Structure 1
């Protein structure tokens, strides 16, 4: 009998101790929970719905930012033809146009070949100038004729 007891004592354990793994998992979870909100950066946008209807015309025309295929920016305040501006001038003129009225719409009209970064730069300038939202101007798709 002594021999049997010795064999049973020397058998390796078949269980895995998971307590250290749970501790590591909890630490990683806390790290991800703390860092996730810090990673989020972006521009606040109100994107149009897929079946968007045209905006009703208001008394005051919207401010329109035009970006042509070369990346040049033009600002149309509704009182004259669009005039070319750089990024700093865009911010300053938008800030002065939006200072007096909170109901002014800001619309962005860009050529489809313009880089995404250029469009985001214009949106950031509009947001910094005080625009509550920036609308994107699009053309409805052409219907195919049979």
Structure 2
């Protein structure tokens, strides 16, 4: 018996250390074809954005806050002259310009060069102090 064992011992099969890549490539090719065929069928989502409406008549009284490009603020009441103002005093001035009436709209105007953060600080300050009807000024037709 020992002589037979020595003959077969030299011819043992070795375990394969390699991964067969052919099934993996086949699966990847099938997935690629599925995605290529289904991609044109996917519809893109549409976002329904609000549009800017045109008011029939201009309100009698309007309070406008102008945000300058250097983050300085100006206050205009009823198309009057601009007055420089600080962010801390803005809410009190706007509330006194509204004379206790929530129907007086407040419009925030800013150049497109002004940082979004500056405009949001003004809007947040006004809303925290209870100012109603705060809106943003937009450029028509552009």
TM-score by length of 2: 0.58
1:111 and 1:119 map into 2 onto residues whose CA distance is 10
Shift >3 Å, 4+ stretches: none
* Unaligned 5+ runs, structure 1: 1-47
Does the residue aligned with 1:135 lie in a helix, a strand or coil? strand
Q: Which has the larger radius of gyration?
A: 2
Return 5+ residue gaps in structure 2 as ranges.
1-48
Q: Could you tell me how far apart the structure 2 residues matched to 1:129 and 1:56 are? A: 28
Q: How many residues align?
A: 94
Residues 51 and 117 of structure 1: CA distance in aligned 2, closer, same or farther (over 3 Å): closer
TM-score (norm 1): 0.57
Residue 53 of structure 2 is matched in structure 1 by 52
Contact 2:63 2:78 (C-alpha < 8 Å) held by counterparts: yes
Q: CA deviation at 1:66?
A: 0.3
Secondary structure of 2:109's counterpart equals: strand
**CA RMSD, 1 decimal:** 2.1
Deviation of the 1:82 alpha carbon: 1.1
Measured in 2, the distance between the counterparts of 1:112 and 1:83 equals 21
Quote how far apart the aligned CAs of 1:55 are. Answer: 5.8
1:76 aligned partner: 76
CA contact (8 A) 2:69 2:113 kept: yes
CA–CA separation in structure 2 for the residues paired with 1:133 and 1:82: 21
Q: 1:79 to 1:53 in 2, by over 3 A?
A: closer
Query: Which has the higher relative contact order, 1 or 2, with Cα contacts under 8 A spaced 6 or more apart?
Result: 1
